[in-house]
Amino acid sequence: MLANACVIINEFGEIGIDHLLVEKSDDNIVELAAGCLCCTIRGDLIDTLTDLLARRDQGTIKAFDRIVIETTGLADPAPVLHALMRDPLLLNRLRLEGVITVVDGVNGWATLDAHPEALKQVAVADRIVLTKLDLLHGLEGEEKLFAIIGRLRKLNPSARLLTTHRGEATAPRLFNMGLFDPVTKTANVQGWLADEAVARHHDHHHDVSRHDAHIRSFALREANAISPQGLELFLELLSAHHGANMLRMKGVIKVSDDPTRPLAIHGVQHVFHPPVRLDSWRDGIEETRLVFIVKDIEKAEIENLFRAFTDQVSGGADAFTDKTLSLNR
C-alpha cells in the first residue's frame, strides 16, 4: 500500500466514477472532471496542485509526501509533463519522480497500433505494468505475451517491466524511483539508466511499416566534462532544433566547474527541470550518462552536438566548428 500519498484522478466523461472504485482514500483523493488531462492541463491540474499544497500547509487536509496523478488512457503525456516542469510555483515545491504506464496484456498490441498517445505513454515511462496476463492461456497466449513484451522493450528498453498477476506491481517497486528526490536530491542512476539494454535493442533496423519505428531510445556516455556555458548552449540548441520530438531526456552530467559532483537533469521537449547538483557520483563512475527517448531523431545528431562542447573543454580547438557545420549541412 502507498502511504501518505495524495491521488488526483482525471475523469473523462459526463459522470465520474473512478474515485468510487478506489479501495481506500482517507480523503486525499481529488477528481478532475473537465476532460482529458492533456487538454485541460494549464487550468484544472495546475490550480488543483497549487490548492492542494496550500491546504497541506494550512493543515486542513492530511499531510502527504507524494502526489500521484492518474490520467486517462487518452492523454498525451508530453503536455502533462510540460506543465509540471514549467510552472514556477510548482517547481519550488515539487519534483517529477517518474512516469508509470499500464499496458493491457490482451489488448495492448492493438491499442499501440491504433493510438499514438499509447506509444508515447510507453516510450516515456519509467515503470511499465502489464495487466490481464492471467487471461492469456496456452500456446497462443504465450506467443501474445512474448510479442507484447518484445514490443514494449523495443519502445522503451530502459523502463522497469512489472506484472500484476505475480504481485510484482507493489508500491515499493512502482515508486521510489530516485530521480530528483526532493529530500535527498539524489539520482538512482543504475535504476533507470539501462544503457546497455538501450544500445542492444536499438542498434538494428526496425520494420519501417511499424508505428514503433518512429520512437526510439538511446544512451549517451561521455568521460570528458562539459563547461557550464557549454551545457547551457547545448540545451538551448537541443531545444531549438529537436524540442518538439524529444519526448524525454534524463541523466547525470559531468561539468567542468566541479567534476566530482554531477548535475542531475531531466527534460521533456522544450522544458527542463532546473539541474540539481548531487553530492557525489553514487556509483563511483565519473562520466556523463544520458538517456534520450525521441521521435525521428538519430543518435548521432545529439551525440555529435554534445561532444562538440566536451571536445572544447578537453582541448579540441576546431571540434565545435567542424561538428556544428556537419549538423547544419
> What are the tens digits of pLDDT across the range 83-114?
787 788 888 888 788 889 999 998 899 889 88
In this structure, what is the dihedral angle of CA atoms 60, 62, 65, 69, given to the nearest 10 degrees? -90
Contact 48, 32 (CB under 8 A): yes
pLDDT digits (tens, 9 = 90+) for 34-62: 444 455 555 677 888 888 899 889 988 88
Alpha carbons 147 and 268: distance in angstroms, whole number: 29
Alpha helix positions (H), 136-282 = 138-155, 171-174, 189-192, 195-202, 228-242
Give tens-digit pLDDT for 125-138.
889 999 999 888 89
pLDDT over 70, % of the chain: 72
Better pLDDT: 79 or 137: 137
pLDDT in tens, 139-191: 988 999 999 999 998 888 888 899 987 777 888 888 877 664 444 445 655 55
Look up the pTM and report it.
Answer: 0.68
**Quick one: average pLDDT of 299-315?**
83
> The cell 554531477 sits on which residue?
262
Q: Beta strand pairing status for 276-277 and 263-268?
A: antiparallel
Assign 6 to helix, strand or coil. Answer: strand
